[in-house]
Amino acid sequence: MEFFRSVSIDWLGKKWYFLGFSLIFSVAGLISMGLHWSQIGSPVPLGVDFRGGTEVQVQFKHTPDVAAIRAATIAAGIKDASVVIYDVPSTNQVLISLPEQQNESSLDAGRQQIVDALNAHYEEPAVRNVQVVGPTVGRQLEVQALKATLLSMAGMLVYLWFRFQLIYGVAAVVACFHDTLITVGAFALTGQEISLTVIAAILTLVGYSMNDTIVVFDRIRENLHLSRKETLPDVVNRSINQTLSRTVLTSGLTFLTVLSLYVFGGQVLKGFSFALVIGILIGTYSSIAVAAPMLVAWQQWREGKGGVASLPAAKRPKV
């Protein structure tokens, strides 16, 4: 059985639609990030591991009454605690969080106060998860996450430069950046928190998007090597079409596994799998709609300037 036997879609002819599509989502994400920035001082809602603060996840024997818990915490002298139902209501869980504290010693006090208040009012509240993060650590993590992302992109750029040519690396990295931007934008738009595990997911999607792009680039390189008469746009179109079957299959299957993670992975993996669900869709799209057209645009620009009109073909390594 085969889905795509011989397709001949003119992908490059649709580049303006692609550009429009990418722009709409990027700009929507950016605007949403701007709104968040003006409200909470960061482009996306941050999880407690970045933001700092205290989070206590408690499970009760019976359905918890959020208002009563809030009253209990206030009675215990804890101001501005937020109390929300966690996960699906049937699991009887609530998440109580305190905002970031000025210094580390008052953090711990907050956690103890919450636990004491609950113990005083409820029979056997089971504390399932406690996170107390001081301002220092949150900041360190932010810096580290950013550093890791940029470095991994730089690492891939260098590898592609070495295996293909600089322009291939640049195009692939731009595509990855595009994917990251839109995925983070999706978090901003849906108001979901970015935690450390979400960062892991974003880094994965960078790898994935790169993977997809390389498959197309590899084919372009091979085709350029085989036929020197064809124009670059034709070669690129043909390469995308030839790999289309693989692209759709792989993305589809990976999407299925990630979707199963999103559906069955539970609350803890929600953010992680959400990032991947978005990331895989957008990563597949960007290899065809961002990375490949960039190669062509670059070459056309070089020709327009009267520069060397050679195709950005690299020698395909010996098989």
Partner 1 sequence: MKKNLKNKILLIVAVLLVFTYGIIGIPSGVSGKALLDAISSRIHLGLDLQGGAHLILQVEVKEAINADTDNVAARVQQDLKGANLAFSQVIKPQPLTRDSAGKYGGKPELIEIDGVSPASNSAVRSLLDSKYANEYDISGGSDTPFTLTMKPLVERALEEKTVEQAIETINDRVNSLGVSEPKVAPYSLGANQILVELPGISDLERVKTIINSTARLEIHAVVGTPYQDEATATAALGGTVPPDVMLAHFSGLGAAGSNDSVYALKRVAVVAGSDFRSADPGTDSNTGQRTVRFTLTNEAGERFYDYTSKNVNTSMAILMGGRVREVANIESAIHDSGEIRGTFSQEEVQDLSKLLRTGALPASLDYLEDRTVGASLGADSINAGVKAAVIGVLVVMAFMLFYYRGSGINADLALFLNLIILLGFMGFSKATLTLPGIAGVILTIGMGVDSNVLIFERIREEIRAGKAAAAAVDQGFAHAWVTIVDTHVTTIVSAAILFLFGSGPVKGFAVTLTFGLAANLFTAVYVSRVIFDAHLNKLKSGEMVSI
Name the minimum Å distance from CB 234 to partner 1: 18
Name the minimum Å distance from CB 12 to partner 1: 21
Nearer to partner 1, 45 or 134 (CB): 134
Name the minimum Å distance from CB 35 to partner 1: 28
Nearer to partner 1, 16 or 264 (CB): 264
Name the minimum Å distance from CB 63 to partner 1: 18
Nearer to partner 1, 233 or 279 (CB): 279
Nearer to partner 1, 189 or 210 (CB): 210
Give the number of other CB atoms < 10 A from CB of residue 116.
Answer: 12
Nearer to partner 1, 114 or 189 (CB): 114
Name the minimum Å distance from CB 200 to partner 1: 5
Q: Which residues contact 185 (CB under 8 A, 6 or more apart)?
A: 25, 26, 28, 29, 30, 32, 33
Place of tokens 């979400």: 198
